[in-house]
């Protein structure tokens, strides 16, 4: 993480030096929470820490999917502002497409939403009323932020079985798996209100929440609508897709002796090209 911040600092300093800060949206984030079970080849425990949030990488507990989202755009975004609304890394794509004035694909459903109205304060609520959290190809949890409500409901359809029991990870398999005896399925789902229980320590029950059944009904209807939008895609892990193709090997490689790369030139070109 220290290395990531150091590199981020170098990028920001370079943008300042080139007078590109006012033309560049910088988004610092992560694709998952810390890997709790990480161990080096020599046996050193390098596992991360996710603060108050349960679980970590490969789980849909908050420790696995709640990640930092830090944005900077000098002269456009208000400094020091904090937005407490559910968003997704899927939002990066439509945000960039809109900013570049390109056309969104029309042959598929785009799950992401343009972040700029929320970042600029033009709207106060995320366009994501529902978010669907997957463990590999299995729908694992659903998040619902009702319009005009401060509650953020989250229902777990199944959760990983931590091992050893009482820990926050799956140390027997190095990472939590998504199927079979590695998970516990919940019927009815485990329901939490993240607005008052971000640690996911106390599931909501019919006794503690008068609208318990209505909340789950709404979320189940959203799941069915979501599943109705899914269509099969070709297998991306066929032998033809995963076999090594030498002709696609990058030129800067020890494999090819006939080509050479000027690292300084390539670095400068890449840096200058990122803001166009």
Tens-digit pLDDT string for the chain (276 aa): 555 667 778 888 999 999 999 999 999 999 899 999 998 888 888 889 999 999 999 999 999 999 989 999 999 999 999 999 999 999 999 999 999 999 999 988 899 999 999 999 999 999 999 999 999 999 999 999 998 888 999 999 999 999 999 999 999 999 999 999 999 999 999 999 999 999 999 999 999 999 999 999 999 999 999 999 998 888 888 999 889 888 887 666 555 555 555 554 443 333 233 233
Task: Locate 176 and state its tokens.
Answer: 């939590």
Element (H, E) at 110: none
d(CA 144, CA 146): 6
d(CA 157, CA 162): 16
Per-residue pLDDT, 247 = 82
Whether the Cβ atoms of residue 138 and residue 179 lie closer than 8 Å to each other: yes
Q: What is 237-265 written as a DSSP string?
A: TSHHHHS--GGGS-SSSSS-TT----HHH
Element (H, E) at 147: none
d(CA 140, CA 160): 10
Whether the Cβ atoms of residue 50 and residue 63 lie closer than 8 Å to each other: yes
Helix (H, G, I), strand (E, B) or coil at 146: coil
* CATH class given for the domain over 2-273: alpha beta
Domains of the chain, by residue range, sit at 2-273
């Amino acid at each position: 993480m220290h290395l990531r911040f150091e590199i981020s600092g170098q990028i920001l300093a370079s943008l300042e030096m080139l007078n590109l800060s006012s033309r560049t949206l910088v988004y610092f984030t992560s694709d998952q929470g810390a890997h709790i079970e990480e161990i080096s080849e020599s046996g050193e425990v390098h596992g991360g820490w996710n603060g108050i949030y349960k679980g970590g990488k490969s789980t849909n507990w908050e420790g696995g999917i709640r990640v930092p989202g830090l944005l900077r755009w000098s002269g456009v975004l208000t400094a020091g502002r904090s937005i407490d609304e559910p968003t997704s890394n899927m939002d990066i794509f439509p945000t960039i497409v809109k900013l570049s004035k390109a056309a969104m694909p029309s042959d598929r459903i785009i799950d992401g939403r343009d972040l700029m109205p929320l970042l600029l304060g033009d709207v106060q609520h995320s366009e994501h009323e529902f978010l669907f959290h997957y463990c590999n190809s299995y729908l694992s949890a659903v998040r619902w932020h009702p319009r005009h409500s401060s509650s953020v409901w989250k229902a777990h359809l199944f959760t990983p079985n931590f091992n050893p029991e009482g820990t926050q990870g799956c140390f027997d398999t190095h990472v939590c798996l998504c199927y079979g005896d590695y998970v516990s399925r919940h019927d009815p789902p485990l329901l939490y209100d993240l607005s008052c229980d971000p640690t996911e320590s106390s599931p909501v029950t019919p006794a503690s929440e008068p609208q318990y059944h209505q909340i789950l009904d709404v979320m189940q209807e959203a799941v069915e609508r979501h599943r109705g939008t899914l269509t099969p895609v070709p297998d991306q892990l066929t032998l033809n897709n995963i076999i090594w193709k030498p002709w696609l090997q990058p030129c800067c490689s020890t494999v090819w002796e006939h080509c050479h790369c000027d690292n300084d030139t390539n670095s400068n070109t890449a840096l200058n090209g990122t803001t166009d």
